[in-house]
């Protein structure tokens, strides 16, 4: 399916006008960055880049797309002919998926002609703003869970396509499962699911519902125990399933109190191995508040797929360098109040001391970053001269989608570099400074 019309009208009119002015073929560099982190955040997590490259490979103007543009007179005939042959032929570099980013981190660079790089602006921002917002929020939840599993189950709280993209972003930063089957099909993310309250209400009694579920799914299943009265439901669940019931799920009430009561009841009934799963509009703050409670796993819905109050990461896509008519490179930048940015194509490194990040250093001119001691380079190639780069860390292999697996592995290493104060949920400054040279 073509992604060519997943864009804004003015991307096409800019290209059309630039072609008329003779400037559309100027070599240009655009960069994606955030001017600031969302309120209360101390770090962000890059996500969606490999998914974006998939969409760029499908950015093609076929007969239907061209007919729509012609019918609505969006561009002229010459530009329509140019669009019919459009293929991105430039270079895309960026931070690895799963990497930490901070204000003004150049997390993606797109180099090509102005026309070809301008056209994909909206698509770039659509994918990265969504997936990065989800991953950044989900990472905070993983840290708050302190090693306990989290299940992504927010499909019904977002659009149908955003749902599987959100599941991917959440898995990337440490969620263990998703309820979304499309995410399972596309990326081999483990899926989970048992029954909702409607299943209990369908049956003539709670006992009948529990028996039916166990007959179908076995005693390792998870029984939902808060449709009516939690204490009675737990008693019935163990009576029907026996002391080796897999888990019970609690979706309402004062969770710290209810969880403690259920744990005590399960232990009295001899079901000490039965786990407790909690849901009920959780976010990083409620998960943190449950750290001292005997919770075994969390199911998170609305807050993870909506970025826990920040559904877009605030990323922008700005022209930072271009060629002039003589072929010389020129740095360009906005100077608008509150929206200024640095010109020039960037290089970036993370400076470390004893394995802990101290600051991010961003260079605005060509620099041999290998000369920066105790640092690691942050930018890698994704597309080179129009061809996707298959790096060693994303080679195809059986099981989990290879690029997603590589991103998840990289995230574990990258987040381990952050100083301890990065994980505080209270408002504060970014975990490390960004130094622009």
Where do the structural domains in the chain lie, given as residue ranges?
9-134+312-436, 136-305
Tell me: domain 136-305, CATH 2.60.40.640, correct?
A: no
pLDDT at 396: 46
Supply the pLDDT for residue 400. Answer: 62
Residues of the chain with confidence (pLDDT) below 50: 396-398
In percent, the amount of the chain with pLDDT more than 70 equals 98
d(CA 40, CA 285): 12
Classify 93 as helix, strand or coil.
strand
The terminus-to-terminus CA distance of the chain in angstroms comes to 42
pLDDT of residue 397: 45
At residue 235, the 3 state secondary structure works out as helix
CA-to-CA dists, residue 263 to 232, 259, 290, angstroms: 14, 6, 14
Cβ atoms of residues 244 and 275 within 8 Å: no
Tokens of 339: 């929206």
Angstrom distances, CA of residue 119 to CA of 104, 115, 125, 213, 406: 23, 6, 12, 51, 29
pTM: 0.94
- Chain-centre distance of CA 374, in angstroms? 29
Strands (E), 306-377: 315-323, 329-331, 347-353, 356-363, 375-377
Residue 254 pairs with which residues in a beta bridge?
none
pLDDT of residue 371: 75
- Residue 361 confidence (pLDDT): 95
* 74 Cβ contact list (under 8 Å, min separation 6): 9, 12, 13, 16
pLDDT at 372: 83
Among 123, 117, 156, 134, smallest CA distance to 318 is for 117
DSSP per-residue codes, 363-405: ESS---GGGSTTEEE-EEEEEETTEE---GGG---SSS-HHHH
State which fold the 9-134+312-436 domain adopts.
nicotinate phosphoribosyltransferase (3.20.140)
Q: At what angle do helices 49-57 and 121-145 cross, to 10 degrees?
A: 150
The answer to whether 224 touches 246, Cβ cutoff 8 Å, is no
Q: What pLDDT was estimated at residue 395? A: 53
């Amino acid at each position: 399916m073509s992604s060519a019309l997943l864009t804004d009208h003015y991307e096409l009119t800019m290209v059309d006008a630039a072609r008329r002015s003779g400037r559309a073929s100027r070599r240009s560099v655009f960069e994606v960055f955030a001017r600031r982190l969302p309120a209360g955040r101390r770090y962000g997590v890059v996500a969606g880049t490999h998914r974006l490259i998939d969409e760029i490979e499908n950015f093609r103007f076929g007969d239907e797309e061209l007919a729509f543009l012609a019918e609505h007179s969006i561009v002229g005939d010459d530009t329509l002919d140019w669009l019919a042959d459009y293929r991105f032929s430039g270079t895309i570099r960026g931070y690895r998926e799963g990497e930490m980013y901070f204000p003004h981190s150049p997390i993606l660079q797109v180099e090509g002609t102005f026309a070809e790089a301008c056209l994909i602006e909206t698509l770039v921002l659509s994918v990265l703003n969504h997936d990065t917002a989800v991953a950044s929020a989900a990472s905070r939840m993983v840290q708050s869970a302190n090693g306990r599993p989290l299940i992504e189950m927010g499909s019904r709280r977002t659009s149908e396509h955003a749902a599987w993209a959100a599941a991917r972003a959440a898995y990337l930063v440490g969620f263990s499962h998703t309820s979304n089957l499309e995410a399972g099909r596309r990326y081999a993310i483990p899926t989970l699911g048992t029954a909702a309250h409607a299943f209990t209400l369908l049956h003539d009694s709670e006992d009948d519902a529990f028996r039916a579920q166990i007959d179908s799914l076995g005693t390792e299943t998870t029984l939902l125990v808060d449709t009516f009265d939690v204490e009675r439901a737990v008693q019935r669940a163990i009576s029907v399933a026996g002391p080796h019931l897999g888990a019970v799920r609690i979706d309402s009430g004062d969770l710290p109190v209810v969880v403690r009561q259920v744990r005590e009841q399960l232990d009295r009934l001899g079901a000490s191995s039965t786990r407790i799963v909690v849901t009920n509009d959780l976010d990083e703050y409620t998960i943190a508040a449950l750290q001292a409670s005997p919770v075994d796993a969390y199911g998170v819905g609305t807050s993870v797929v909506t970025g826990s109050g920040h559904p877009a990461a605030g990323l922008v896509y700005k022209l930072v360098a271009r060629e002039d008519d003589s072929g010389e490179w020129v740095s360009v930048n906005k100077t608008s109040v509150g929206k200024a940015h640095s010109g020039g194509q960037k290089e970036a490194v993370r400076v470390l001391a004893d394995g802990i990040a101290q600051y991010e250093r961003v260079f605005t001119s060509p620099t041999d970053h290998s000369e920066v001691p105790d640092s690691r380079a942050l930018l890698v190639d994704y597309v080179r001269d129009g061809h996707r780069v298959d790096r060693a860390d994303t080679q195809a292999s059986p099981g989990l989608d290879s690029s997603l697996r590589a991103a998840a592995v990289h995230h574990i290493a990258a987040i381990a570099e952050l100083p301890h104060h990065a994980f505080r949920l209270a408002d504060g400054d970014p975990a490390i400074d960004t130094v622009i040279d």
